[in-house]
Amino acid sequence: MRILLVEDDEALGDGVRVGLAQERFTVDWVKDGKEALAALETENYGLLLLDLGLPRLSGIELLKLIRGRGMTVPVIILTARDTVADRITGLDCGADDYVIKPFDLDELAARIRALTRRKMGRAEPLLVHGNIVLDPAAHKVTLDGAEVNLSPREFAVLRELMENTGIVLSRDRLEQSLYGWNEEVESNALEVHIHHLRRKLGARLIRTIRGVGYVIQKD
Ligand code: CA
């Protein structure tokens, strides 16, 4: 999943970016509200992490704008401890959750997973498909109970497909979830990841829909 981080504090922003990369999320980081709006208009994000005190366009103004335009991207606001009123305004303006600075990265990652589950209408934390179980928190995949070794990108592709079973994901959408702005998209890399996933988890797990993309059918 690709995440847009909007935070003007250099140290905090860098910490979040690095921490979430370790959680196998792709993170684009911008430092003001206008840049954030431009990014949201051009890229497909699974989540927005939004600081409220921002240059050029505040977090609340940005939130009102994007909700006014019908953008449904889930939003977690990052706020200071002494700003209860801001948190309430944020939630009432369409944010889904908040964390209070300084926050624990593990807690933030857990809230992201919880929000993703809710968005997909799922209560169960594990993603299960037949004999394959993916644990988003532990970054583990098992096949018939035995752990399967996946690279970080193979894991990210599988998580994206298992979170969207029955939906054909285009090559573009999958690549967007894998690569941030500063990363070169290697040509054929996606095909290679799919090939490895099929070899490790079974040839029939992921179907290719020619000219459209890839899908894991519902059980
Ligand atoms: Ca700030």
* Cα(210) to centroid(ligand 1), Å: 45
Q: In this predicted structure, what is the pLDDT of residue 188?
A: 87
Reduced to 3 states (helix: H, G, I; strand: E, B; else coil), residue 78 is strand
The pLDDT score that the predictor gives to residue 186 is 80
Q: In whole angstroms, what is the distance from residue 9 CA to residue 218 CA?
A: 42
For residues 4 and 20, give the distance between their C-alpha atoms in angstroms, rounded to a whole number.
Answer: 11
For residue 120, the model assigns a pLDDT of: 83
For residue 117, the CA-to-ligand 1 centroid distance in Å is 28
Using the mean position of ligand 1's atoms as its centre, give its distance from the Cα of residue 22 in Å: 24
Q: What is the pLDDT of residue 182?
A: 76
Q: How far is the CA of 53 from the centre of ligand 1 (A)?
A: 4
- Ligand 1 centroid to residue 50 C-alpha, Å: 9
Complete DSSP assignment for 179-203 = --TTS---TTHHHHHHHHHHHHH-T
Q: What confidence score (pLDDT) does residue 105 get?
A: 94
Question: Are 109 and 19 in contact, with CB atoms under 8 Å apart?
Answer: yes
Q: Are 173 and 44 in contact (CB under 8 A)?
A: yes
For residues 165 and 216, the answer to whether their CB atoms sit within 8 Å is: yes
* 109-154 residue pLDDT tens: 999 999 999 888 888 899 999 999 999 999 999 999 999 999 999 9
User: Which regions in the chain score pLDDT beneath 70?
Assistant: none
The pLDDT value recorded for residue 176 is 86
Q: Residue 179 has what pLDDT?
A: 86
Residue 135: Cβ-neighbour burial (10 angstroms; 0-12, 13-18, 19+): middle
pLDDT at residue 217, rounded to an integer? 94
